[in-house]
Structure 1
Amino acid sequence: MKLSTKMISVFLSGCILAGTTPLYAQMRNNKGLKKGANLAINITNKKKDPPRTYVNLGLISNYPCLTGLGINAISSITHYHSKGFQVAGITNVTGLNAAGFQLSSIANVTGKNTQGVTIAGLMNVTGNSMSGIALSTLGNVTGLDESGVSISGLITVAGRNSSGLHVAGLANVTRRTQRGVVIGGLMNVAGESMNGVQLTSLLNVAGTKNNGVQLAALGNIAVENHGLQLGIANYGDQNRSLQAGIANVASQTSKGLQLGILNISQDSTAHQIGCININPQTHVQMIISGGNLNKVNVAVRFKNRHTYTEWGAGAFYLDLDRKLSASAFYRGGVYCSLLPRLELSADAGFYHIETLDNKNEGLPARLYALQPRVNLEYRLGRKIGIFASGGYSWTRQYGHNQIFDHKATFEAGIVLF
């Protein structure tokens, strides 16, 4: 981070301020910057040590300290401190600390600390800490801590910690701890802990802990999640709070809650609510079955300690005088053991039905069915079992309240694995 700040500072000053010695090494010590060209009118108190300039107007200015007003058409270099109102057509450079208001079309560069409002056409660079408001079209870079409001067209970077509100069109990057709210167009990264809110369209990352809220359209990553992860995909080595999304993954400990379509955890004590829940105790089985409505079905069942979910597809008979239709279905249920090999279960299923050629005979192209069932399953061996089910089915057309068909349903099949 320090190397990046040095390169940016030297590049800007070297390109813009001809005849000025390299800035960064001078700015980070107490000797300030060396003298250079000064094409300006100054009102200065030379009795002070270092001398204080109260009014500065010109093209290029190079003087010890500003306490008041400084306006220059090209650049303004202050060796030590700048306090007040500093405006330059291209760049403002302060050797040590800057406080007040800085405005330039290219860059504002401060060796140590910046306090107040800094507005740059391209970039604001602070060697140590920045507190206040920083606005730029390219980036805001702080060597250590950044606090307050920082808004950048592309990127904001804090070499140590950041707090407050930070908005970047591309990314917000904090080396250690991020507090407050950060909004990034594509990405937000906290190298260690995140104790606030991360909001982005692509990815949020907390290198050590997420103690706040990560909101991303795509995904969130945290080594330890102690807060909320909300996105399409959420990942944490340890999930001790809440993951909510389409896919949630905890590769180690999961003492919290996973809420989504697919939940994966390496912790057998994980709390999971979703369509597919996988943990070390999950038993994945294949089911082949048929019945009076569901003629031929193939499904995969994810069986946990007391619950199970099932995804499948097959052929669906609307009536004896109809042709076969295709269906895809999902079931969720609970079970208990009656005997060592005999289980009783109950579930409810949703079927999506494509009527195929039946639509040419006046039937709707798509239907759906709701089916509650009660099941008995007997294990013949470790890898095979048989079951029989009985329930009821209500079939309806999408967007209509009328029942298209309803009848009792019976099904039997085998369970593999």
Structure 2
Amino acid sequence: MKLNLIMAGFVSACLLFATASPLQAQSRHKRELKKRVNLALNVTNKKKLPPRTYLNLGLLSNYDYLSGIGINALSSVTHFHSKGFQVAGLTNITGLNTAGFQLSGIANVTGGNAKGILLGGLMNISGRDMNGFAFSGIGNMSAKNNRGFIIGGLTNIHSGNSAGMMLSGIANVTRQTQSGLMIGGLMNASGDTLKGVQLASLTNIAGKANNGVQISALSNITVANRGMQMALCNYSAENKGVQIGFANLSGKGRKGLQFGLFNLSADSLVHQIGCVNISPRTHIQLLISSGNLNKANVAVRFKNKCTYTELGGGAYFFNLDHDLSASAFYRAGVYYPLCSRLEISADASYYHIETLDNKHKGYPARVYALQPRLNLEFRLSRKVGVFASGGYAWTRQYGHNHTFDHKGTFEAGIVLF
């Protein structure tokens, strides 16, 4: 349905362009216009070229130039310019430029520039620029630039630049630069550079660069981000600005900032704040360990310049008279090399624990644990190391302050890669 409406709009625009050219030629060469049906009362000054109509009242009208008021029950067709107040039950069609107020039940169609207030039941279409205020039930289209406040029930599509505010139920699309504010029910797209703000529920797209702000619930996409992106997932091929979201992805850049749970960048100088940060300087390692609380652990460590984070899981162990439980954990810490092969580190861990069969022994179905640690790590070779850790753990039920267990912890293991 959406595609059919857009195609219908493009076809209408093409017909406008085809109509506008011969009309302009008629104006230049003073050729006689074809006689068409005109069921209306007109007050016209025929001494001017083209003749000027100051008052037009009727069923359907077909005349040269409106410079005043035109009210028709069905349609109003103006071959040259329309300046003033024009109302039709179905359509208003102007061959060249429109300036003033237009109201129609279906569509306002202008071959050249449309300036003023356009209220169309379904569509407002301009063959060149659209300036001012435009409202339509389905959409607004212009073949060149848009400047003003544009509201479309479904879509707004402009082939040139956009400046001002666009609001639509589904999508706003600008082929070139967007300056101002875009609010789309689902998406906004700018083919060139964004210099304003895009707000959408699904996605925002800037084809060349984002120099403004992109905010959406799902994703933001651009080639070069020099402004701010805020969404569940943000992507830019080059990031020199700020990305805030659950996942931030970028290619090359120059000291951009990523703030989120998962940050991935091809820029070695990027600033990353999050749970998992990956850049060309990140050393990714595999850790296998065991201890008095965790009988078997497997974790992936993301090690950066002086900090690291870990994601892992394993078998959590309460006491000798309890069965094993399953755990998943996240750990963040800092480290300092004591010499070429030995380093010391400190970290804090959060464990989510599914107690499995232990829920029949007085434990809730799931609990959590907090664990600070001190660690020593020794590199046996470039690819293999060993470590030992000591700390303390507190295990509690979600939503309660009651402590089920607390004890000192010891853990040792190997580091691969």
Question: TM-score surpassing 0.5?
Answer: yes
Q: Does 1:7 align with 2:11?
A: yes
State the AA in 2 paired with 1:23: T
State the AA in 2 paired with 1:25: S
Q: Corresponding residue for 1:364?
A: 364
Deviation of residue 246 (structure 1)? 1.0
Query: How do residues 226-305 of structure 1 correspond to structure 2 at under 5 angstroms?
Result: 226-305=226-305
Structure 2 unaligned regions, length at least 5: 1-6
Deviation of residue 27 (structure 1)? 5.4
| 1:233/1:248 contact within 8 Å kept | yes
Q: Corresponding residue for 2:21?
A: 25
Over the matched positions of the two proteins, sequence identity in percent amounts to 60
Deviation of residue 125 (structure 1)? 0.7
| 2:212/2:226 contact within 8 Å kept | yes
Name which of structure 1's ranges 317-326 and 381-390 shifts more when overlaid on structure 2: 317-326
CA distance in 2, matches of 1:315, 1:112: 72
- Where do 4+ consecutive residues of structure 1 move more than 6 Å? 3-6
Q: Give secondary structure in 2 for the equivalent of 1:36.
A: coil
State the AA in 2 paired with 1:369: A
| 1:27/1:110 contact within 8 Å kept | no
Q: Corresponding residue for 1:62?
A: 62
Q: Corresponding residue for 1:96?
A: 96
CA distance in 1, matches of 2:8, 2:191: 16
Question: How many positions carry a matched residue from both structures?
Answer: 407
Q: Give secondary structure in 2 for the equivalent of 1:322.
A: coil
What TM-score do you get using the length of structure 2 for normalisation?
0.94
Q: Give secondary structure in 1 for the equivalent of 2:36.
A: coil
RMSD of the TM alignment (CA)? 1.9
CA distance in 2, matches of 1:206, 1:27: 37
Q: Corresponding residue for 1:149?
A: 149
CA distance in 1, matches of 2:44, 2:24: 25
CA distance in 2, matches of 1:143, 1:30: 22
Q: Corresponding residue for 1:414?
A: 414
CA distance in 2, matches of 1:216, 1:361: 47
Deviation of residue 35 (structure 1)? 4.6
Name which of structure 1's ranges 349-358 and 71-80 shifts more when overlaid on structure 2: 71-80
Structure 1 unaligned regions, length at least 5: 14-20
| 2:78/2:93 contact within 8 Å kept | yes
Q: Give secondary structure in 1 for the equivalent of 2:319.
A: coil
Q: Corresponding residue for 1:42?
A: 42
Q: Give secondary structure in 2 for the equivalent of 1:31.
A: helix
| 1:149/1:164 contact within 8 Å kept | yes
Q: Give secondary structure in 2 for the equivalent of 1:74.
A: strand
| 1:58/1:72 contact within 8 Å kept | yes
| 1:28/1:127 contact within 8 Å kept | no
State the AA in 2 paired with 1:119: L
Q: Corresponding residue for 2:329?
A: 329
CA distance in 1, matches of 2:93, 2:78: 6
State the AA in 2 paired with 1:294: N
1:194-242: per-residue Cα shift (whole Å, max 9, x none)?
Answer: 1111011111111111111101111101111111100111111111111
1:320-374: per-residue Cα shift (whole Å, max 9, x none)?
Answer: 2211111100001111110101111111110001111111122111111111111
Q: Give secondary structure in 2 for the equivalent of 1:359.
A: helix
Q: 1:222 to 1:10 in 2, by over 3 A?
A: closer
| 2:20/2:112 contact within 8 Å kept | no
Deviation of residue 136 (structure 1)? 1.1
Name which of structure 1's ranges 395-404 and 375-384 shifts more when overlaid on structure 2: 395-404
Q: Corresponding residue for 1:172?
A: 172
CA distance in 1, matches of 2:24, 2:367: 72
Q: Corresponding residue for 2:4?
A: none
Q: Corresponding residue for 1:395?
A: 395
Q: Give secondary structure in 1 for the equivalent of 2:48.
A: coil
State the AA in 1 paired with 2:78: T
What TM-score do you get using the length of structure 1 for normalisation?
0.94
| 2:38/2:61 contact within 8 Å kept | yes
| 1:254/1:266 contact within 8 Å kept | no
Name which of structure 1's ranges 199-208 and 35-44 shifts more when overlaid on structure 2: 35-44
CA distance in 2, matches of 1:407, 1:390: 11
| 1:239/1:253 contact within 8 Å kept | yes
1:262-311: per-residue Cα shift (whole Å, max 9, x none)?
Answer: 11111111111111111111111111101111111011111111111100
Q: 1:362 to 1:23 in 2, by over 3 A?
A: same
State the AA in 1 paired with 2:110: T
Q: Corresponding residue for 1:18?
A: none
Deviation of residue 5 (structure 1)? 6.9
CA distance in 1, matches of 2:13, 2:321: 82
Q: 1:206 to 1:127 in 2, by over 3 A?
A: same
